[in-house]
Amino acid sequence: MAIRERLSGNEAVAYAIKQINPDVMPAFPITPSTEIPQYVANYIANGEIDTEFIHVESEHSAMSAAIGACAAGARTVTATSSCGMALMWEELYVAASDRLPVVLALVNRALTGPININADHSDSMGARDAGWIQIYAESNQEVYDNFLQAYPIAEHKDVHLPVMICQDGFITSHGVENIMLVEDDKAKAFVGEYCPEHYLLNAKEPMAVGPYAVSNYYMETKRAQRQAMLNAKRVILDVAKKYEEMTGRKYGFFEEYRMEDAEYAVVIIGSAAGTCKAAVDHIRETTGKKVGLVKIRVFRPFPEEELAKVLKNLKAAAVLDRSEMFSATSGPLGAEVRAALYSAKAEIELVNYFYGLGGRDITVGDFEKIFDNLEEIAQTHEIRDMYAYIGLREGDCHGNSL
Amino acid sequence: MKDTVEIRWHGRGGQGAKTAALLLADVAFKTGKYVQGFPEYGPERMGAPITAYNRISKNPITVHSNIYEPDYVVVVDDGLLDCTDVTAGLKKGGAVIVNTQRSKSEIEAKLPNWNGKVITVNAREISEDALGKYFPNSPMLAAAVAISGVMAPEVFLKEMQASFEHKFAKKPEVVAGNMKALKMTLKAIA
Amino acid sequence: MKSTDINERSPWQDITEGNQIYEPATSRNFCTGEWRTSTPVFIEEKCKQCLLCAPVCPDSSIPVCEGKRGEFDYDHCKGCGICAKVCPFGAIEMKEGK
């Protein structure tokens, strides 16, 4: 029987780490992810797990140590947020290109400046091109479930890529909610033992990791890295299927919420999807309008074709980004979704709104306004604000807020 | 209890409003409910006004926003009434529960925008009597449970007994005092 | 996959993951001596076997055996001239060309 519990998102991740008992955890504290290494250090001090905790002097060192440990053949985990991830930047690329299955528990927090400790996705979205698999969660349950699936994906022989398991800072990381935990023995059996084919500490096979590659090799190496990302799509679904067999909880690249007959949809990542679900239910119950939600779980690799298939026959959709990328056009998710729809030759009305930057709250009422707006756009075929900000204070001049 | 009860806590950094919200989530969870307990986070500063929230429901909860129209408001420090609009959005038919040593009419006078129910709890008196020290958490938790009706008082006391025994395994002498504080509060409100 | 099986005509499918190399000392296979434009010449009769030259060689091209240096490894010597500069006895002279 699964274990009924109530945990914060950080507790849930730490609990998953305890169940997995990885070999090495180098970590440096930063709000709001600090509790994860704290809890793990407690487990170690209490003798519940025998993970080697490395106290490093910075996140740059944390990721460097993670790379070293993983290359040596150890199952490795670390955790960070925001500026901590920014300091890991260089090493994120090294872990991915060296094809090391490190798992990073990322608690999403806005990047400075202005300095801010609350949730948005600017940290992980900035790292979206680093070559890491990125999996996002709506709730504590999802971040726990995603974490248990991380190593089987990362360590699969057709993948060998690092995985970032993301959750929204404070909103899920520090909020206590109900959760169903997998029993220890089942969790351990699901994740399995890490038995790398090649590793630095294998005295029988001296090897080199991360050699210099001149132009004659670099591009071929990158193409092979792309293949790993492509392969990851199949592996992510296979692992999700096995997880569903064990827990009954179904996961894919994204969740379709009341999309069967939907005419209008919001596309979103993370904890606000739950708030949007309440809006979808309320609108359907009170007005009968056909609204739905697509919640992106896997952002890297990006499920381009699969997503376009779900969206292309809608009347209108709003893609919501929880980070700016200052292209002076769309946000990161907006750009991906638009590209996907273009490839599918879809002609739906599409807007891209920004919300929740630096922890700005988004409510059920905000989502109801967004759906109203989509309906108006579908009727008039006029888009007034392609890139509006949700909940922004606006002066008298014409601007982009809803 | 209705399907979902939403509670907003107002306190000051270091007073334990967040802990009280988490304790309420805890005890409601043990009675089979779906719960959320979360603080509104900013830089942590001792004495600064802070807000924490509870959603308690018979059904799974998906909403992840703060609570703007609570069913109940708990104020752990009556000094907040001078600087925070604690009853903002409070639902008609709801109630505000204030920890204070002042009279109910004095508190009502400080809530000009609220015509509904006001409950005062002298958590200091109760806590000092039961525990010999001022910990407003236990009395305010008991008051929140009693007024919101999220569970029956006897179920609450049973769960809290177990919870305190677990929490204070290393100092069992404080269990009885805390239980006494809960019982005194329930009696004072009834 | 042996490193010798991978070359500049290898398709991307044949490149190892992350360019990992699953064998030691593959630098031996790379004859950097081909880069040489001037060449050190060992004049054995002037050599006192002080061995100052061997550790400064960036390419480990001065083999030392039983406390005595031997002839240059011209497969890997790039002709940098550091050994000639450091020799106190004029026992290494640089000449133009290979």
| Residue-wise DSSP of A142-206 | HHHHHHHHHHHHHTSTTT---EEEEEETTTTTS-EEEEEEPPHHHHHHHH-----SS-TT-TTS-
Number of C-beta neighbours around residue A236 at 10 A: 25
- pLDDT tens digits in sequence order for chain C, 98 residues long: 788 899 999 999 999 999 999 999 888 888 999 999 999 999 999 999 999 999 999 999 999 999 999 999 999 999 999 999 999 999 999 999 98
Contact residues, chain A, for B35 at CB < 8 Å = 6, 176-178
The CATH number assigned to the domain with range B4-189 reads 3.40.920.10
Using H for helix, E for strand and C for coil, what is the string for chain B? CCCEEEEEEEEECCCCHHHHHHHHHHHHHHCCCEEEEEECCCCCCCCCEEEEEEEEECCCCCCCCCCCCCCEEEECCHHHHHCCCCCCCCCCCCEEEEECCCCHHHHHHCCCCCCCEEEEECHHHHHHHHHCCCCCHHHHHHHHHHHHCCCCHHHHHHHHHHHHHHHCCCCCHHHHHHHHHHHHHHHHHC
Q: ipTM of this model?
A: 0.93
B134-171 per-position pLDDT tens digit? 989 899 999 999 999 999 999 999 999 988 888 888 88
Counting the structural domains of chain C, the total is 1
pLDDT of residue B16: 83
- Using alpha carbons only, give the angle B177, B178, B181 rounded to the nearest 5 degrees: 90
Of B37, B38, B63, the CB nearest to A275: B63
- CATH code for the domain in which residue C79 is found: 3.30.70.20
A198 has a chain B CB within 8 A of its CB: no
Measured between alpha carbons, how far is A70 from A68 in angstroms, rounded to an integer?
6
Q: What percent of chain A has pLDDT over 70?
A: 98
Minimum CA–CA partner of B33 in chain A: A178
Residue C6 lies in a domain: no
B29-46 per-position pLDDT tens digit? 999 999 999 998 766 688
Residue C48 lies in a domain: yes
C67 has a chain A CB within 8 A of its CB: no
Instruction: Report chain A residues touching chain C, CB-CB < 8 A.
Output: 97-100, 160, 198, 205-211, 213, 216-217, 219-221, 223-225, 227-228
CB A358 within 8 A of CB A120: yes
Domain region containing C68: 36-98
| pTM of the entire predicted model | 0.94
**Which strand ranges, in their side-by-side order, compose the sheet holding A3-8?**
A3-8, A176-181, B34-39, B49-57, B4-12, B72-75, B95-99, B117-121
Of A198, A209, A224, the CB nearest to C12: A224
> For helices A272-287 and A364-380, what crossing angle results, to 10°?
60
Spell out the domains of chain A, with CATH numbers in brackets: 3-247 (3.40.50.970), 254-380 (3.40.50.920)
Contact residues, chain B, for A274 at CB < 8 Å = 61-64
First to last CA, chain C: 34
Residue C13 lies in a domain: no
Contact A176 B35 (CB under 8 A): yes
Contact C19 A211 (CB under 8 A): yes
Tell which residue, A289, A292, A285, has the closest CA to residue A267. A292
Measured between alpha carbons, how far is A227 from C15 in angstroms, rounded to an integer?
12
Tell which residue, A220, A73, A74, A90, has the closest CA to residue C17. A220
> For helices B153-167 and B173-189, what crossing angle results, to 10°?
160
Residue C10 lies in a domain: no
Please count the residue pairs, one from chain A and one from chain C, whose beta carbons lie less than 8 angstroms apart.
52
- The shortest C-alpha distance from C15 to chain A (Å) reads 7
Measured between alpha carbons, how far is A294 from A303 in angstroms, rounded to an integer?
12
pLDDT of residue A1: 77
Which of A4, A5, A6 to probe by mutation at the B interface, max B CB count within 10 Å? A6
A360 has a chain B CB within 8 A of its CB: no
A228-264 per-position pLDDT tens digit? 999 999 999 999 999 999 999 999 999 999 999 999 9
Cis peptide before A47 (omega within 30 of 0): no
Number of C-beta neighbours around residue B21 at 10 A: 26
Residue C16 lies in a domain: no
A195-210 per-position pLDDT tens digit? 999 999 999 999 999 9
Residue C78 lies in a domain: yes
A175 has a chain B CB within 8 A of its CB: yes
Residue C7 lies in a domain: no
